[in-house]
Amino acid sequence: MATNILLAILVTSIATYSSRFLGVLTSERINENSKIYRWFNCLAYSTLAALISRMIIFPAGILAESDYFIRLIVIVLSILIFYVTKKNLVYPTVFSAIILFFINGYFA
Amino acid sequence: MINQKYFFKGLLSAKGMNSPAVALGASFIAIGALLKNLGFSIQESIFSTFLTYALPGSLVMAESMLIGASLVNIFLGVWLVNSRLYPMTVSLMPLLIHKSQPRWKYYLSCHFIAVSSWLIMKSNYEKIEKEYRIDFWIGIGTATWLIGIFSTVVGYVSADYLNKDMMMGLAIVNPIYFMCAMIGVMKTIQLTSAIIFGALLGPAFYFISPEWCILYGGVVAGTIAFFIGEKNGN
């Protein structure tokens, strides 16, 4: 391993905490009923949505080895389960892993 | 110092029918196994989740180390993927700030901001009096953070027993949980358009820049959604 593990951990945590810290600093001047707050709220949800859809469409790591079509089936089924179970979050999550595990084992 | 009633209320909100524990657990098990395969010791793996506690960041770190990237590159990669924590913090903390509470609580507890804890707080804050929201938040954060650390250990220990298909199953859990949670919060025009545009523009910008796509896509989508919402009364 070329990089020192401990240093990598520290660098990662500093890069992560800095955004949180700056967020609190900014928050001290922002009123929850202001327009700027609503803008930040939109940014938070849209960046999250961007991150999640990137994780699914252009996955990194092991997920990249699964087929596009298989991932699409898992997504559609999970959304279906989500609605059938009256918007429960646990069922689709658990089933998504099981569905992917079986479809992948079957076709791969 | 910390109101115990609200702290425990927050702590316990990590269980229940809509619990993020399953998704959180699965993804940190995957991280634990990944770090073991990278050559981390168990202490280093625990330390990593303890200090970072943001999944995409840890993933970027692991992948960068795999290809032997420099510390500067790790910093930039992690910063880019975790910069979403900035708008997330700004859209959460103003709801929790109360003049009777000391400032250190906010600067310390912002470490707990991650998607799962953030989503729980966003959907529950209205039920808690403003003065005690920060204690409730510290409870949520402590619970989700401990689940993350515990699962990292489980993943590390069980790494040798996890095959490729199982790792793949663990990896899909987190994005699916967040996807469903996002669909669940689409209640106003503003939020619905923020989420839909974000989900479309994030991957679209990937073709321009894989590193910057989340940031670009998020800012453009969020700004469009903001104006759509303001025009239509939120």
The interface predicted TM-score (ipTM) is 0.92
H or E segment and range at residue A44: helix A35-57
Instruction: Label residue B22 by pLDDT band (50, 70, 90).
Output: confident
Question: CA B174 to CA B172: how far, in whole Å?
Answer: 6
Whether residue B180 lies inside any domain: the answer is: no
Whether residue B125 lies inside any domain: the answer is: yes
pLDDT winner (highest mean) among A58-72, B5-19, B54-68, B148-162: B148-162
| pLDDT of the residue at B42 | 96
B82 → closest Cβ in A5, A15, A74: A15
- What is the number of domains present in chain B? 2
B167 with B196, same domain?
Answer: no
Tokens of B87: 């708008």
Whether residue B24 lies inside any domain: the answer is: yes
Instruction: Label residue B165 by pLDDT band (50, 70, 90).
Output: confident
Q: How far is C-alpha B218 from the chain's CA centre?
A: 16
Running DSSP on this structure, what letter comes out for residue B39?
Answer: T
Whether residue B179 lies inside any domain: the answer is: no
Whether residue B51 lies inside any domain: the answer is: yes
Nearest CA distance, B4 vs chain A (angstrom)? 23
| Mean of pLDDT values over B72-83 | 94
Nearest CA distance, B158 vs chain A (angstrom)? 17
| Mean of pLDDT values over B173-179 | 91
| pLDDT of the residue at B13 | 86
Question: CA B154 to CA B29: how far, in whole Å?
Answer: 6
Asked if pLDDT for residue B73 goes beyond 80, the answer is yes
| Mean of pLDDT values over B20-29 | 90
- What is the domain extent for residue B144? 4-173
B75 with B153, same domain?
Answer: yes
Q: How far is C-alpha A82 from the chain's CA centre?
A: 17
Residue of B nearest to A51 (CA): B214
Whether residue B181 lies inside any domain: the answer is: no
B135 with B218, same domain?
Answer: no
B199 with B167, same domain?
Answer: no
| pLDDT of the residue at B111 | 97
Asked if pLDDT for residue A16 goes beyond 60, the answer is yes
Asked if pLDDT for residue A1 goes beyond 60, the answer is no
Asked if pLDDT for residue A105 goes beyond 80, the answer is no
Place of tokens 């999550």: A93
Contacts of B133 (CB under 8 A, 6+ apart): B6, B95, B96, B98, B125
Last residue of a domain, one of B150, B173, B196: B173
Record the pTM. Answer: 0.92
B54 with B121, same domain?
Answer: yes
Contact B85 A23 (CB under 8 A): yes
Interaxial angle between packed helices B71-82 and B55-66, expressed in degrees from 0 to 180 and rounded to the nearest 10:
150
Q: What are the tens digits of pLDDT across the range A56-82?
A: 999 887 888 888 889 999 999 999 999
B46 with B67, same domain?
Answer: yes
